[in-house]
């Protein structure tokens, strides 16, 4: 008998099995549909992203595309930026910017284009939230180096004869400030000669046109190289995206330097005779203040990259004040040096060996321990004749100093010799050799002389005009000018107890005498007056010297001269020059 099981064909599939099969079928169908939709979704996302990137930042989008299609190749990305100007921007500046920036072209592609309505860079004169400075233009008021003007206001300019070297912004300046401006097209030398004619002649110069032959006139008592507000300023602004800010530096770089970088400016203060002895020493001991003579002027002197003065008296332990002509200083008095911020001590004076070479040598060692430099004298003849080099903020200065007077008198006592400390001796051949050597190794050569003193001691406290002039015998003008002829840039007389005149000569400038800084000669007005020179150098060039009158009251405290005291001294020096 054959038994056949027919239950399998008649048995119904369980419900759970049917459900699983249905779900599986549906999932399979869904996956098939998803696979068909994926390309469309990816395409839509790509299209959306592409459009978003293009409209959000077209420069970045172009960079990305260029990088994609130049993969593996060297490519230079050089976008063209559009520039437009608001209505407040002077036409002269618009034309100047177009002229300068239109020159920037790479393989026929301009860096900048102009006059588009929706520009990448819109330039205006109003600073708005989020805007960046695109460029600034400073016009600095200057007179001739001999000018007696010490301050000017914008209102004062209207009554002056105003000159410029080029027409850039001339019309705008005339319109905005009510000025009448004359162009000097023959160059800077012609302008300097025009300024020399009268103190009423004023020029408006850019920073790059500054020259030792002109004198910056403080604007509303702000001296431009110490305070950039001391100029007529025009600022131009633009709002750009953060990634495009680099283009503002491209614009500024190709528009020329409007101002200066603080880090490249070198400031040197030079003072005159320091001899803390006699009556000044008595006063300091009485008040028990060893910074006494410097307490008013010290901070001013210290406000420089380098501060110099000529010290004529050595420090002697146990020194007590006397009224003799042999000078010593108590070591305590070095506090006045510190208060003055001294960095460089000149040693050309003829009193440093008054108490013996032992103390001039120990004084030099003290300076070295304090980290101060010295020149014009030394521990021995070789040390004394060394040229001092100082490099600050990109400018290298050379200092050379001589004791002319004792060398010419054959008075060897103050002079350095073999194994003996003292001042550096002078000879014309030595001067020639030293300046030639210094010029090979420095940007600027500064030469100082302990020349013969003019005896400015009349009966009574009266002005003694002859000692504001250079000496005729020996020939002070001839000696100082020789240093310029040999290549010195700045020549300074540090022997004078009464200040002497100054002048431009050749390619340099000469100051025949600075007068006293710290000394006790209070009886005569000429020896109470003095000068501090503030020299400014930029990228290896001498661009300005500010002549600062100082005054010692009869209490021996040195101060910046009052306007009246300063005006009198500058007038006397001008008369001595003429």
Flag whether pLDDT at 369 surpasses 70: yes
The CATH number assigned to the domain holding 436 equals 3.60.21.10
481, 517: one domain: yes
Least-confidence region, from 7-21, 220-234, 354-368, 456-470: 7-21
341, 426: one domain: yes
Q: Tally the domains of the chain.
A: 3
CB proximity list for 218: less than 8 A, separation 6 or greater: 150, 151, 152, 224, 230
Average confidence (pLDDT) over 423-431: 99
In a domain, 3, yes or no: no
In a domain, 420, yes or no: yes
Q: How far apart are CA 450 and CA 403, in angstroms?
A: 5
**In which band, very low, low, confident or very high, does the pLDDT at 8 lie, cut at 50, 70 and 90?**
very low
The string of pLDDT tens digits covering residues 298-315 is 999 999 999 999 999 999
Flag whether pLDDT at 88 surpasses 70: yes
Confidence (pLDDT) at 373: 99
Question: What's the burial of 126, exposed, middle or buried (CB within 10 Å: 0-12/13-18/19+)?
Answer: exposed
Do the bridges between strand 132-144 and strand 214-216 make them parallel or antiparallel, or are there none, so unpaired? antiparallel
In a domain, 483, yes or no: yes
Collapse the DSSP code of 104 into the 3-class scheme (helix H, G, I; strand E, B; otherwise coil) and give the result. Answer: coil
Q: Quote the domain boundaries for residue 95.
A: 81-260
Flag whether pLDDT at 83 surpasses 50: yes
216, 284: one domain: no
In a domain, 411, yes or no: yes
143, 276: one domain: no
Angle at 566 between CA 565 and CA 570, to 5 degrees: 120
93, 64: one domain: no
Domain boundary among 260, 285, 320: 260
Flag whether pLDDT at 448 surpasses 50: yes
Q: Considering the entire predicted model, what is its pTM?
A: 0.85
- Report the phi/psi class of residue 325: left, alpha or beta, with left for phi > 0 and alpha for psi in -120 to 50: alpha
Collapse the DSSP code of 395 into the 3-class scheme (helix H, G, I; strand E, B; otherwise coil) and give the result. Answer: strand
285, 168: one domain: no
Average confidence (pLDDT) over 268-295: 98
The CATH number assigned to the domain holding 251 equals 3.40.190.10
Domain boundary among 225, 260, 295: 260
88, 60: one domain: no
In a domain, 188, yes or no: yes
Confidence (pLDDT) at 15: 41
The string of pLDDT tens digits covering residues 461-477 is 999 999 999 999 999 99
Flag whether pLDDT at 213 surpasses 80: yes
In a domain, 566, yes or no: yes
Enclosing H/E stretch for 407: helix 404-408
Flag whether pLDDT at 107 surpasses 90: no
Confidence (pLDDT) at 520: 97
Q: How far apart are CA 452 and CA 524, in angstroms?
A: 19
100, 233: one domain: yes
Q: How far apart are CA 350 and CA 353, in angstroms?
A: 7
152, 203: one domain: yes
201, 234: one domain: yes
Average confidence (pLDDT) over 244-260: 81
- What is each CA distance from 145 to 152, 300, 547, in whole angstroms? 15, 22, 9
309, 328: one domain: yes
Which of 149, 142, 177, 178 lies closest to 163, judged by CA? 142
Token code pair at residue 30: 């869904």
| Pair 306, 269: CB distance under 8 Å | yes
Percent of the chain with pLDDT over 70: 86
In a domain, 12, yes or no: no
Domain boundary among 260, 291, 320: 260
Average confidence (pLDDT) over 196-207: 97
Flag whether pLDDT at 34 surpasses 80: no
Cβ count within 10 A of residue 503: 18
Token code pair at residue 124: 């205006």
- Report the phi/psi class of residue 413: left, alpha or beta, with left for phi > 0 and alpha for psi in -120 to 50: alpha
In a domain, 10, yes or no: no
Flag whether pLDDT at 24 surpasses 90: no
163, 295: one domain: no
* pLDDT mean across residues, the chain: 90
């Amino acid at each position: 008998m054959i038994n056949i099981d027919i239950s399998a064909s008649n048995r119904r599939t369980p419900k759970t099995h049917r459900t699983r099969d249905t779900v599986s079928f549906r999932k399979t169908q869904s996956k098939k549909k998803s696979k068909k939709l994926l390309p469309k979704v990816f395409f839509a996302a790509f299209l959306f992203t592409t459009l978003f990137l293009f409209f959000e930042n077209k420069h970045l989008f172009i960079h990305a595309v260029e990088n994609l299609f130049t993969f593996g190749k060297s490519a230079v990305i050089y976008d063209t930026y559009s520039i437009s100007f608001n209505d407040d921007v002077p036409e002269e500046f618009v034309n100047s910017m177009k002229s300068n920036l239109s020159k920037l072209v790479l393989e026929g592609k301009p860096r900048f284009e102009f006059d588009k309505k929706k520009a990448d860079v819109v330039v205006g004169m109003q600073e708005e939230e989020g805007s960046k400075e695109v460029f600034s233009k400073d016009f600095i008021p200057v007179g001739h180096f001999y000018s007696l003007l010490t301050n000017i206001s914008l209102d004062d300019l209207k009554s002056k004869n105003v000159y410029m070297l080029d027409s850039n912004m001339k019309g705008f300046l005339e319109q905005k400030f009510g000025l009448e401006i004359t162009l000097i097209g023959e160059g800077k030398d012609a302008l300097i000669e025009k300024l020399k004619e009268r103190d009423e002649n004023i020029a408006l110069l850019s920073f790059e046109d500054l020259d030792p032959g002109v004198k910056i006139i403080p604007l509303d008592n702000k001296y431009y190289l110490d305070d950039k507000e001391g100029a007529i300023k025009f600022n131009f602004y633009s709002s750009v995206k953060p990634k495009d800010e680099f283009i503002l530096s491209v614009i500024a770089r190709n528009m020329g330097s409007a101002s200066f970088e603080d880090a490249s400016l070198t400031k040197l203060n030079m003072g005159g005779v320091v001899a803390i002895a006699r009556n000044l020493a008595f006063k300091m001991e009485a008040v028990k203040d060893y910074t006494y003579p410097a307490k008013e002027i010290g901070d001013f002197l210290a406000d420089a990259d380098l501060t110099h003065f000529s010290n004529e008296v050595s420090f002697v332990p146990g020194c007590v004040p006397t009224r003799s002509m042999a000078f010593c200083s108590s070591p305590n008095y070095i506090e006045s040096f510190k208060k003055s911020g001294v960095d460089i001590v000149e040693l050309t004076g003829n009193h440093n060996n008054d108490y013996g070479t032992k103390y001039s040598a120990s004084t030099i060692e003290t300076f070295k321990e304090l980290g101060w430099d010295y020149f014009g004298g030394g521990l021995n003849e070789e040390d004394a004749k060394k040229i001092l080099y100082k490099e600050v903020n990109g400018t290298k200065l050379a200092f050379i100093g001589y004791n002319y007077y004792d060398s010419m008198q054959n008075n060897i006592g103050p002079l350095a010799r073999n194994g003996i400390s003292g001042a550096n001796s002078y000879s014309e051949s030595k001067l020639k050799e030293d300046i030639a050597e210094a010029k090979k190794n420095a940007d600027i050569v500064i030469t100082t002389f302990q020349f013969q003193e003019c005896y400015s001691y009349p009966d009574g406290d009266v002005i003694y005009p002859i000692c504001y002039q250079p000496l005729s015998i020996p020939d002070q003008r001839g000696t100082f000018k020789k240093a310029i002829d040999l290549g010195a840039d700045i020549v300074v007389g540090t022997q004078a107890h009464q200040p002497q005149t100054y002048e431009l000569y050749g390619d340099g400038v000469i100051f025949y005498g600075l007068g006293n800084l710290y000394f006790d000669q209070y009886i005569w007005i000429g020896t109470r007056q003095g000068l501090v020179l503030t020299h400014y150098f930029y990228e290896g060039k001498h661009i300005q010297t500010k002549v600062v009158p100082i005054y010692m009251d009869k209490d021996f405290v040195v101060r910046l001269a009052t306007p009246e005291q300063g005006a009198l001294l500058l007038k006397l020096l001008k008369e001595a020059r003429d």
